[in-house]
Structure 1
Amino acid sequence: MRRRLLQSLVPMVVVLAIIAAVPLANYIATGQSRTLFLSRSNDADWFATMAESPLQSGDIATLRELAVRYHELYATPVFVVDVDRRVIATSRSGVDVKEPDLKVALDSTLAGRLPAEPAALWPWRSGEMVVARPVVNNGRVLGAAVLRVPTEKARDQVERGLLLLLGGLLISIGAVVVGIVRPVTRWVLRPLNDLDNATHQVTRGALDTRVSTDGRAPELRRLGDSFNSMALSLHQARQREREFVADASHQLRTPLTSARIHIEGLSRLSPTARFALSDIDRLGRIVQRLSRLAGSDRPGDIESSNEAPLDLAQAVKERLVGWKAVYAADDLELVIGEMVPGGVAPELEVDDILDVLLDNASKYGAPPVEVSVVRDGTEVVLSVRDHGLGLGSRDLKKVGERFWRSAHHREMPGTGLGLAIVRSEAARVGGRVVARPPVGGGLVIEVRVPLIDDYED
């Protein structure tokens, strides 16, 4: 926006400067021409006075000598003609009185009128200036004294003046742009910059950000009010989301605690109950993570632990034992790909992550579902791929957002929290979640977590 505004204002400043400079340039050229014309007009008047007697007596030797000396001194040719336009005396030979500029000057002078001032001396033009004065005796025109004035030096002075004017013009334009246009541009765009900064703050999670609308133009005031209303709606929606997750996790704690007490009693009598007790513990950890998810917009740092690194490949293989049976019962194909050992933070809840990914792949994707663990530089990558319809480029950017669901899957059961929990769990140990379309179609969800350097296979 600032660039566009500058692109509009700077040409306007340049055009105004050019409009102001044109009369100044014309003044410089015209002034130099007038100065030269007036100085040589005095000389032409003197020659006209000196030629009055020779034109009457016919003794032109002295007049010719004066013309030659003047030519040598000022490098300006001089000649005198009678009323019939015959050259009587000249400082150089070869004068052609029929030349257009000489003819016009002589027509006016021999008619008893002073010729008009010559045109402005522009550097790109050439030629001599003609200065003519009538030789008059008792009101009768006897002839004319004519000077062919060189204009090279005068044009050089005009050129230097125009260059100085151009330099001053450029400096003025720069000063106006820096001193006026840019501050005005900043002042005009300040409300939009404030709105842009507020938008970035909201993007970073500061939903209580608001913009001031006092003293703004009506259009900007309406825009600011709309932004504040939007930010308030987002803030309220986030509050409701947090309250929902917090209430749900709180409501789940009591029945889970009660169920665990009862199952602990049964676990002494039935080995099967011990597996149920393990699932109850997993549910308890899920509730705790939901509470953390509701309490913070940014994932926390990795919790300090003295436990040994966890072999991600081994943990995945152990969890896949149960999922093979689940997939087989639903006639779905589960393919176990490459399993490269790699140590990760022991706090990573591999079972929860894999459960979400495999559950999503079975519900929203299509078989076969491929699971692999590989190393990629300083990361260990858990990858789950299905061969379903996949997601569009816009949807891929939203994977992992809370309560978000693809338009193709909104009619299917689910809460839209699964991948959000996976992303939060990965971020808790410094990892990330990447969704991408693989070659051949489908969808790949990668959970990338840091590799612990001191881990030994």
Structure 2
Amino acid sequence: MRRRLLQSLVPLVILLAIAAALPLANYVASGASRTLFVSRSNDADWFADVAESPLQSGDIATLRQLAVRYHKLYNTPVFIVDVDNRVIATSRSGVNVNEPKLRAELDRTLAGRLNDEPPALWPWRTADMIVSRPVVNNGRVLGAAVLMVPTDDTRADVQRWLLVVLGGLLLSLGLVVLGVVQPVSRWVLKPLQDLDNATHQVARGALDIRVRTDGRAPELRRLGDSFNSMALSLNQSRQREREFVADASHQLRTPLTSARIHIEGLSRLSPTARFALADIDRLGRIVQRLSRLAGSDRPVEGGDAEGMDLAEAVSERLIGWSAVYAADDLELIVGKMQPGRVASELEIDDILDVLLDNAAKYGQPPVEVSVLRDQDEVVLQVRDHGLGLSSNDLKKIGERFWRSTHHREMPGTGLGLAIVRAEATRVGGRVVATPGAGGGLVIEIRLPALDPAPLPMPAEAQHRR
């Protein structure tokens, strides 16, 4: 947004600077042209006065000498013509009075009119400046004194001045952009940046964030108020959800315990009661998961700085699960177990129980469990070889009470992966679900590592080893 605003403001500033610089450049070029014209007009007037007597007497030798001397001194050719446009005296040979521009000036001068002020001397104008004055005696025009004024030096001065103007323009543009445009754009966009930062905070779960609305434009104030109302509603909804789950799990725990005691007594008398006892245990596990889900989204504060070795914790838990899988004739493969320390507050047993239980129920063997190190993350990876999930279903993994359409007829609550995701998020981790290379589903629990990644062993050392 800031870049777009700068892209709009900077061209506007450039146009304004050009609009201010063009009159200044024209003033410099016109002033140089006017100064040269005035100075050479005085010399032309002097030659017109001197030429009056030679044009009447015909003695032009002295006039020719003056013209030659002036040409050598000022590098400006001079020639005198009579009323018939014949060259009477000149400082150089080869003057063509029939050249259109020169002929037009001579016709105007011999008619008794003075030169118009020449146009501005821009660096690309290479023609000489023509300055002529009529030679007059008692109101009668006898001829004209003409100076062919070179403009090279004056145009060079104009070019230097224009470069100075251009440099000043660029410097001014830089100062305006740095000192005015950027602060203005930053000031204009600050409310939107605050709102953008607050939106990212809400997306990360900080629902108590609020944005300032005082002292801002009405539109931004309404937008800020709407955002604050939305964040407040989300926070209240999340709080009500957490309170409901906590209250429900707490209220259900006591009657479930009482019902289990009674049914245990009946199970000695009736085999059917054992099925009711299994259902009571299943309800107890659901209540336990609800209780865990109610508090798992609270971020960890403090904790053990050393953490725990994830590979070691997973290996210990897999000892029991290997026996469970073997009893059901399922194959459990223990893959790579690369060391990596993660937050000790992580309930890795609960996470692994959910993932392995889901793999056994919804996937197909073999199920492979690995702990890998990926730069600054330690990855718990569980892969099965079942049917897998569609791309749409992969996006919904971890939502509460969500279940795939392929598995809705199977027992389950849809809370297992929600608990896993909430537990990983609680310690700064994340859950990534991808389809397996040869089919099935790969679930990765990516957790921030508390220890630096080991450096790769040089090839020579590996060879010696």
CA contact (8 A) 2:68 2:92 kept: yes
| Cα drift, residue 347 of structure 1 | 7.6
Q: Distance in 2 between matches of 1:151 and 1:297?
A: 83
Q: Distance in 1 between matches of 2:308 and 2:114?
A: 112
Q: How many residues align?
A: 437
Q: Distance in 2 between matches of 1:294 and 1:198?
A: 23
Going from structure 1 to structure 2, the CA distance change for 1:108 and 1:340 (only over 3 Å counts) comes to: closer
Matched, 1:388 2:387: yes
Q: Secondary structure at the match of 2:165?
A: helix
Match of 2:355 in 1: 357
| Cα drift, residue 164 of structure 1 | 1.3
Q: Distance in 1 between matches of 2:428 and 2:18?
A: 61
Going from structure 1 to structure 2, the CA distance change for 1:407 and 1:36 (only over 3 Å counts) comes to: farther
What percent identity do the matched residue pairs reach? 62
Q: Distance in 2 between matches of 1:145 and 1:352?
A: 110
Written as runs of structure 1 = structure 2, the 5 A alignment for 1:19-38 is 19-38=19-38
Q: Which moved more, 1:178-187 or 1:344-353?
A: 344-353
Match of 1:270 in 2: none
Match of 2:194 in 1: 194
Going from structure 1 to structure 2, the CA distance change for 1:375 and 1:37 (only over 3 Å counts) comes to: closer
What's the Cα RMSD here?
4.0
CA contact (8 A) 1:245 1:294 kept: no
Report the AA paired with residue 21 of structure 1. A
Going from structure 1 to structure 2, the CA distance change for 1:29 and 1:208 (only over 3 Å counts) comes to: same
Match of 1:315 in 2: 317
Going from structure 1 to structure 2, the CA distance change for 1:141 and 1:441 (only over 3 Å counts) comes to: farther
Match of 1:173 in 2: 173
Match of 2:459 in 1: none
Match of 2:332 in 1: 336
Q: Distance in 2 between matches of 1:238 and 1:44?
A: 95
Match of 1:131 in 2: 131
Q: Distance in 2 between matches of 1:420 and 1:198?
A: 25
Going from structure 1 to structure 2, the CA distance change for 1:85 and 1:381 (only over 3 Å counts) comes to: same
Match of 1:226 in 2: 226
Report the AA paired with residue 165 of structure 1. V
Match of 2:103 in 1: 103
CA contact (8 A) 2:2 2:185 kept: yes
The TM-score, its normalising length taken from structure 2, stands at: 0.80
Match of 2:76 in 1: 76
CA contact (8 A) 2:381 2:442 kept: no
Q: Secondary structure at the match of 1:126?
A: coil
Q: Secondary structure at the match of 1:120?
A: coil
Q: Secondary structure at the match of 1:95?
A: coil
Please, which of 415, 418, 421 is the counterpart of residue 417 of structure 1?
A: 415
Match of 2:298 in 1: 297
Q: Secondary structure at the match of 2:84?
A: coil
CA contact (8 A) 1:48 1:134 kept: yes
Going from structure 1 to structure 2, the CA distance change for 1:42 and 1:406 (only over 3 Å counts) comes to: farther
Q: Distance in 2 between matches of 1:167 and 1:367?
A: 75
Match of 2:212 in 1: 212
Gaps of 5+ in 2: 267-273, 453-465
Please, which of 361, 364, 367 is the counterpart of residue 364 of structure 2?
A: 367
Written as runs of structure 1 = structure 2, the 5 A alignment for 1:198-277 is 198-255=198-255, 258=258
CA contact (8 A) 1:213 1:221 kept: yes
Report the AA paired with residue 354 of structure 2. V
| Cα drift, residue 348 of structure 1 | 6.5
CA contact (8 A) 2:296 2:423 kept: no
The TM-score, its normalising length taken from structure 1, stands at: 0.81
Match of 1:269 in 2: none
